[in-house]
Amino acid sequence: MTDSTFHTLEAAIADTHFPEVDLMLRRGRHVGRDDGTAYDYLVDAQALLEDFYRRFGCELVQRSDGYFYLLPSGDRLGRRQLSAGEMLVGQTLALLYLDPATLQHGGLVGREVLLQRLSGLLGVDVLVRTLSPRKRKYDERIAAETVRTQVGEALRRLADLGFVDIVDDARLRLRPALMRFAEPVRGLSDPNTALERLVASGEALMGEGTSADDGANDEELPP
């Protein structure tokens, strides 16, 4: 605490950053180094805010990859989850984030690269059924467009939650928070291959016991 700008919770809450950062966290957003002063504020006020959020049944988590998020330990702020399709897109983005080629391009990847990776891992039929679980049938002639539309919707949700930045219609910037999707395979000798197997098998899992829902609604990750 001696290194913190804030010596009391009241001082931390009175800071101009608090309202925006608090809303971001409660909405399920991951606040990372790319968020600039919002991230710096959380680093500075972390010890005080940890106790503050525990009162709401949440843990303020900081990951060494460089991001914060709220993890509910109760139901006071709700416990929402991503859909199976959003989890699938997130896991595939995590694979791309771990790819050395992505680092060489400054964390930027093309949407077409994402779509190709998804199709290659699952095949178009499984991919369409995962992204659109309510559809009993689908027209093969429009399958590609269906996938593109559903992936676009998943990307918008993941951007809202701080996993990616949508640069333009063709490119995405991948953020460190995507490593949450790699939690189930961390510590393994070959995490990339293990994560590929998870994606290909449809096992949409995240760390801390979080999993995808059954696709019946558009819920978010735990806030």
Q: Is the pLDDT of residue 203 over 70?
A: no
Q: Is the pLDDT of residue 209 over 50?
A: no
Q: Higher pLDDT residue, 180 or 136?
A: 180
- Per cent of the chain over pLDDT 70 is 81
CATH 1.10.10.2250 residue spans of the chain:
9-72
Q: Is the pLDDT of residue 79 over 70?
A: no
Residue range 195-222: mean pLDDT, rounded: 51
Q: Is the pLDDT of residue 139 over 70?
A: no
Q: What is the pLDDT at residue 205?
A: 52
Q: What is the pLDDT at residue 202?
A: 61
Alpha-carbon gap, residue 202 to 116, rounded angstroms? 17
Strand order from edge to edge, sheet including 108-110: 108-110, 171-174, 164-166
CATH 1.10.10.2260 residue spans of the chain:
84-201
Residue range 169-197: mean pLDDT, rounded: 84
The CATH class of the 84-201 domain is mainly alpha
Judge if pTM exceeds 0.85.
Answer: no
Residue range 113-125: mean pLDDT, rounded: 88
The CATH class of the 9-72 domain is mainly alpha
Residue range 135-139: mean pLDDT, rounded: 64
Residue range 131-159: mean pLDDT, rounded: 81
Cα angle value 151/199/155 (rounded, 5°): 20
Q: Higher pLDDT residue, 45 or 123?
A: 45
Q: Give the highest mean pLDDT range of 53-62, 189-198, 212-221.
A: 53-62
Tell me the β-bridge partners of 166.
Answer: 172
Residue range 19-40: mean pLDDT, rounded: 96
Q: What is the pLDDT at residue 215?
A: 33
Give residue 142's pLDDT band: very low, low, confident or very high (50, 70, 90): confident
Q: What is the pLDDT at residue 80?
A: 62
pLDDT, tens only, 184-195: 777 676 777 877
Asked if residue 47 lies in contact with residue 7, where contact means CB atoms within 8 angstroms, the answer is no
